[in-house]
């Protein structure tokens, strides 16, 4: 018996549509209709879960407790777990920090090589030509003819005993000028090369620490994912 192919396709389309509606209805019905009080409880549980998955300062015990508690609450009220399918926010944050720290480490090496390779007169000329900007948590060095160099404001402040919050008139432009003067004084006292070497080592130390912590994120994520399933 010959069956019209167009009819077959139409019947198949109807079955697919009905299956979709059935699955969607089951999903909707599976979620409990919440009162205002219950909605607040669910929101608090989701906030706790987000805190556990994103706050880098939490210890492991606190993080696990938050995940387990939020998982139980969400399950009790018929809500989805809310655990991301991809990377957790903590891992994304650490990857971003690692990328920034790696650039600062490379830039610290560029700056020390540029300055340490010069004699005093050339060093002073180079420093005088520098333009320095303080941008949030970074110090940006604008080197004529080269890409900007970005370093950690905290590490620069530590090595050169420079506090951006205590500069002239509390202003960032004047603060940058004070840093230029510190560079010049250090160069004249034959201390600048050693300070730049220390600055490079400090950035290297930061990169290594972040990289170490980043390697621990995948096992942590797997453990938290397991806890959310069994909560």
What is the per-residue pLDDT across 183-222, written as a single tens digit (0 to 9) for each?
999 999 999 999 999 999 999 999 999 999 999 999 999 9
Helix, strand counts (H, E) of the chain: 9, 3
pLDDT at 17 over 60: no
The predicted pLDDT at position 20 comes to 45
Nearest to 196 by CA among 141, 137, 125: 141
The predicted-structure confidence for 48-57, as pLDDT tens digits, reads as follows 999 999 999 9
Q: Are residues 111 and 209 in the same domain?
A: yes
Pick the residue with more confidence: 32 or 67? 67
Q: Are residues 80 and 131 in the same domain?
A: no
Q: Are residues 105 and 192 in the same domain?
A: yes
The structural domain count of the chain equals 2
In the structure, what pLDDT confidence band is assigned to residue 22 with cuts at 50, 70 and 90?
very low
pLDDT at 138 over 50: yes
Q: Are residues 200 and 224 in the same domain?
A: no
pTM: 0.75
Structural domain range at position 142: 92-215
In the structure, what pLDDT confidence band is assigned to residue 175 with cuts at 50, 70 and 90?
confident
- pLDDT > 70 in the chain, percent: 81
pLDDT at 226 over 60: yes
The predicted pLDDT at position 227 comes to 85
The predicted pLDDT at position 65 comes to 93
In the structure, what pLDDT confidence band is assigned to residue 72 with cuts at 50, 70 and 90?
very high
Q: Are residues 77 and 41 in the same domain?
A: yes
Q: Are residues 135 and 29 in the same domain?
A: no
- In angstroms, the CA 149 to CA 191 distance is 21
Q: Are residues 19 and 124 in the same domain?
A: no
Give Cβ neighbours of residue 192 (< 8 Å, ≥ 6 apart).
115, 116, 123, 183, 186
- In angstroms, the CA 163 to CA 172 distance is 11
Q: Are residues 110 and 159 in the same domain?
A: yes
- In angstroms, the CA 184 to CA 164 distance is 17
- In angstroms, the CA 122 to CA 27 distance is 72
Nearest to 186 by CA among 151, 164, 149, 161: 161
Q: Are residues 58 and 125 in the same domain?
A: no
């Amino acid at each position: 018996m010959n069956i019209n192919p167009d009819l077959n396709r139409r019947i198949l389309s109807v079955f697919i549509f009905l299956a979709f509606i059935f699955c969607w209805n089951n999903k909707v019905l599976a979620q409990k209709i919440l009162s205002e009080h219950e909605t607040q409880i669910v929101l608090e549980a989701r906030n706790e879960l987000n805190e556990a998955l994103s706050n880098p300062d939490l210890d492991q015990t606190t993080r696990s407790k938050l995940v387990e508690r939020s998982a139980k609450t969400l399950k009790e009220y018929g809500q989805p777990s809310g655990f991301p399918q991809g990377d957790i926010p903590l891992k994304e944050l650490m990857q971003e920090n690692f990328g920034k720290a790696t650039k600062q480490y490379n830039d610290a090496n560029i700056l020390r090589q540029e300055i340490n390779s010069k004699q005093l007169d050339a060093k002073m000329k180079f420093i005088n030509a520098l333009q320095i900007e303080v941008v949030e948590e970074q110090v940006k060095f604008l080197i004529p003819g080269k890409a900007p160099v970005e370093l950690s404001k905290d590490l620069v402040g530590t090595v050169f005993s420079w506090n951006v919050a205590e500069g002239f008139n509390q202003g960032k432009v004047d603060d940058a000028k004070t840093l230029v003067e510190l560079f010049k004084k250090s160069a004249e006292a034959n201390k600048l090369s050693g300070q730049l070497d220390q600055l490079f080592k400090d950035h290297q130390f930061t990169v290594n620490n972040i990289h170490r912590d980043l390697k621990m994120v995948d096992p942590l994520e797997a453990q938290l994912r397991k806890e959310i399933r069994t909560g």
